[in-house]
Structure 1
Amino acid sequence: MLKFLKSLFGAPDSVQSPTIGTAAVESPRNRVPGLEVETASSCSQEGSAAALEASATRAGTSDLAPVVPQPALKSQAQLDEELIASQAWIDAVTAGEQAWIDKMDALLAAVRSAQEEGRAVPLMMLSQYFWLKTPVPELGTSKLLDELRERIEKDFSVKSYRTYIENKTKTRWNSYPHSVDWYMGEYLQVRPSYLDGLRDLFEKIPERIGIVEDHYDTLKAGEKEFRPAAGGDNLLRFKGFLTKYAQEHLPGVTPLDFFPGNSPRYIRDYFGSDIKISGYLLLWGMMSVVQVSRSSGAQSSTSQIGIEFEKKLIAEISEKFPAARIEPTPVTGDQGADVILILDGVKIVIQAKKYTGVVGNAAVQEVFAAMQFYDADYAMVVTNSRYTAAAQTLATKIGVELATASDYLRRIQQLIV
């Protein structure tokens, strides 16, 4: 039986020790048919899997886009450095520096013109605004101009602002992420807008005094309540009251008036406190002007200055309208008229007001009464100053013409046509 089985499976007649190494694998005599098939099948499967994997890898690789290397992101400092070095930035900064010079010259020219014309009140208010304390006799001299320039240059010093920005970029770098040079360049571009606001404020001081005239009773009540010298109990509260009132009711004194909405907020905030203090000082000074005008009658046109103004108007009317008959009224008892003009059958009563402040309701009422008294066709007030809002409203209601020294001749021409 054993022999039969051996012959059936092809086994050798005697058992031999298996060879070790390569011969054990490659020798046909050592191969077991079932094991050989299984091994071959396994190798075949592994080979197929490897082939599929390689094919899949090749297929996947062909579908991917080529990898493009990305440039490194630039830091804020690098971006700032590139911008500052650009010609556009350099030109903008240079233009800002030149604009500062030009606008300063324009402001001082406007102040010099006021000096030549003897407009003391705007000059006093400008000195008050900067707390220069210029003596009245020196308001018309070069001293005011020199002090004004020096004060503005000091307040808006490039060196001082740079020190401030250097500190902010170190201590508040999250709020000030740019370089110091970047902030300085922007400052030099924006700085001239302050001079625009200041010049506009100076040229409109008479109008601002008119606003103070309209609010005077409220302001005096606040002064009486808070200012110790007037019977109040707290000077700081009085300053706070005036500061708030100026910001809410007096045009031209807010930070936005000097640095409009397109200006960087951090620049507006930096100068905001000083601008508000100056607004409070200006309002306080204007209250004094109104108080003096009310208490002393400093606006009266019966003064020598007023008489000279009347003579000037008469001379100009005579030159413009040679055929007109002009009758000056008595200095006293004029019933509210300084000049009576008759031209082409039209009678016009004129009241001349050479004012240091603004013209209020009283002048409108007086000339209206004069129109009734002299049986005139028209009534007109002529001033070198401005009119309060209340005076303009009343004049419109009762038909009184409000003119200035620069346009009254044209207004007369319109009345006689």
Structure 2
Amino acid sequence: MPGKPSPVARLFWTAVIGGPLALWYGPPALAATGFALLCVWLRHLGRPRRFRARVRRIARAHGETLALRRRQESFRDAYGNWIEDGWLRERDYFLDRTVLPQIGPRDADLAITERDRMLAIVEAEAAAVDLPEEEDAPEDGLDYERYCAERLARAGWRAHRTPASGDQGADIVADRDGLRLVVQCKRLTKPVGNAAVQEAAAAQRYWAGDRAAVVSNAGFTPAARRLAAATGVLLLHHDGLDAIDLAQA
């Protein structure tokens, strides 16, 4: 499919068509040609603004999900630093997988030059959503397991914690609607790595689960995300336990 004509091409053809008419018909045609050239140029100047407005509409349509992901992928580490690495990756993912496919190839040049502004728009739309107050998750590991089991129970799961030894990587086994979810819980001050995903995948087989999940307060490393995508292990923040649906996961 041919791309959108460039502003230079539009100006050129407007001048090519309008110039002879201006010479033939005199001042009125000359004024009309000048006005047409001005309109073409003004439209070009407004193109980035219209592009950003489209990005804003797309981001706003996903505002609640973006706000939740922003909360889930940000945490405070053991040194008191606010870590947003996971959220920054999520913003890029949203642009590349959701926004740009809707923008299309005609505005590919603006997708490059306006990248920073697009990210700022996503950030602003996520920050504008007023989410319900987040529950304080316990800091102790065993208390965190109980907390996650309680949230699953509130969502209609028959959730029970596994024995402290011999659990084969599972902290919680939950059943609902004939489906079984095997969960490993990680209350950490840094993103969860590969090992937890490997253990959850093994626990799913041991406990005859339909799906496995790693639940954490602190996000996940890129390597953990890649392994989870390959093994089908769900990576969740504890806020996501209330709405998990294995039939659609």
TM-score (ref. length: structure 2): 0.46
Computing the radius of gyration from Cα coordinates, the structure with the larger value is 1
Task: Compare relative contact order (CA 8 Å, sep 6+) and give the higher one, 1 or 2.
Answer: 2
Q: Under a length normalisation based on structure 1, what TM-score does the superposition of the two structures give?
A: 0.28
Bigger proportion of residues as helix? 1
